[in-house]
A and B are shown apart, each in its own frame.
Chain A
Amino acid sequence: MNRHLPPDDFDRPDIATFVGRGAPDFRKAKRHSARVRLVKRVLPVAILVAVVLMITVPLVRNLSMKVELPFDLGTLSLSGTRLTMEAPKLSGFTDDNRAYNISAGSAIQDVTKPDLIGLTDITARLELANKGWATVKSHTGSLDTKTQFITLSDGVDLATNGGYAGKMQDAAVDVKAGSVTTDHPVVLTYLDGKLVSDRLKITDRGSRAYFEGNVQLDFRLSSLPKSDPPAPAPQPIVKP
């Protein structure tokens, strides 16, 4: 390392080493000790940071793998005042902690009316009381987050693992009250039984159903569960 010697020091090397401004060796030593002080402070901090990183990074990585984010934004695009979200997914638990997850082809929200969300190609899957599940599929629908009102339209398909299936043209779902109403023909099938009616109103979280208008139920006794053993043959269930 070449040292810069100030000109006045050339002819008096013996005094130069004692001059207050510090001879080159002294300045070198000062720089060295400054560096040592620096390292003394920086090194422990660096080690500490390294240790912390070594712990948290793997933790976060496997943590995120376990915790599936409840909502998945998919791609988001804004055109004019309408916000479109592709393939939104939403999952969670109802108040009596039954899991549900809803996914849709796209969700459109008008920024000026944020409470109303238009959805297309909706598939909702709701866990039912006792390990069963029900799925609801609908082509279009809208969700009003303020009134918690969902309207499904253009063909709604309902299915449960208990063997029930239902087809409706549209349905208005009041999530808070737990009621579903439709004013268009409904077809419900169960095994080889079939129930058709013009209107349907399900209330009380599904424990009351009111079919109205040209109600027709078709079924065969053999499809009904046998009654108790004493009755040898399946009897006609209808009598005068």
Chain B
Amino acid sequence: QPAPSGPPNALQGFATNRNEPIRINSDTLEVKDKEKQAVFAGKVVVTQGDTTLKAPQLLVYYDGDVAAGVQGSAQPTESSKIRKLEATGGVVVQTKDQTATGDTGVFEMKTNTVTMTGNPVVLTQGPNVIRGKRLVVDLTTGVSRFEGGRVESLIVPNSVKPDPAAQPRR
């Protein structure tokens, strides 16, 4: 499990507990198999381990054919691969004491990266705050970086204590 580096943020929570079951709650879910899209809408809450994501809407782009799975044509394993996930309309991600907020969050399965964009994207950890335009977190390496535009941060001295719990669980 790579130790997350770069600005600590809630998104790395997804890197640490990646094998945990995922639960998505929402008011409605619409699966449009022709467009290969599924749209969770209405107070969407996604939880995985101790990380939660809240957004008004979550779009799931998938390949293959859910209907094929239903139609029974594809073998169960490869029937519907999720290609991309997009949370829009104001996204809040929380892991323990860290939160990350932004306008949209896009997760690319292929590159296994999470990109959060916002005006600005705000990361907080305890009293510390970092703001920027685009935050990219590589979930395989756990590295996250701010890109595109000025990054402003406010770090309160000795507020970042190396608390063991923050270390990714082995």
Contacts and interface: CB of A to CB of B under 8 A. Distances in A.
B70 interface: yes
B70 A206 contact: yes
B21 A237 contact: no
Interface string B87-127: 10001110000001010011101111010100000000000
B28 A211 contact: yes
A139 B112 CA distance: 46
B67 A206 contact: yes
Contacts of B20: 220, 236
A161 B72 contact: yes
Contact of B112 (A191, A219, A235): A235
Contacts of A70: none
Contacts, number: 190
B76 A163 contact: yes
B18 A129 contact: no
Chain B, interface residues (CB within 8 Å), range: 35 or more
B67 A237 contact: no
Given A130-B68, A233-B18, A215 B29 contact: yes
Given A225-B81, A240-B116, A235 B26 contact: no
A157 B24 CA distance: 24
Interface residues of A, number: 49
A162 B18 contact: no
Contacts of B25: 214-217
Given A130-B73, A240-B116, A221 B19 contact: yes
Contact of A197 (B21, B22, B29, B74): B29
Contacts of A236: 14-15, 17-18, 20, 22, 48, 51, 139
B28 A212 contact: yes
A134 B73 CA distance: 11
A132 interface: yes
Contacts of A221: 18-19, 22
Q: Which of B11, B18, B53, B100 has the most CB of A within 10 A?
A: B18
Contact of B24 (A132, A217, A227): A217
Interface string B11-54: 10011011111111111111111100000100000101001010
A191 B80 CA distance: 12
A190 B69 CA distance: 9
B11 A240 contact: yes
Given A215-B25, A216-B24, A237-B85, A208 B30 contact: yes
A222 B48 CA distance: 13
B114 A240 contact: yes
A128 interface: yes
Contacts of B91: 240
Contacts of A234: 18-19
A239 interface: yes
A164 B27 contact: no
Contacts of B57: none
A44 interface: no
Contacts of A222: 19
A240 B111 CA distance: 15
A231 B18 CA distance: 13
B70 A162 contact: yes
Contacts of A217: 23-25, 29, 40
Interface of A: 128-134, 160-164, 190-191, 195, 197, 204, 206-222, 224-225, 227-228, 230-240
Pairs of residues from A and B, 8 with the lowest C-beta to C-beta distance, nearest first: A132-B72, A130-B73, A239-B114, A239-B107, A240-B93, A162-B72, A163-B76, A240-B105
Interface of B: 10-11, 14-15, 17-34, 40, 46, 48, 51, 53, 67-83, 85, 87, 91-93, 100, 102, 105-107, 109-112, 114, 116, 137, 139-140
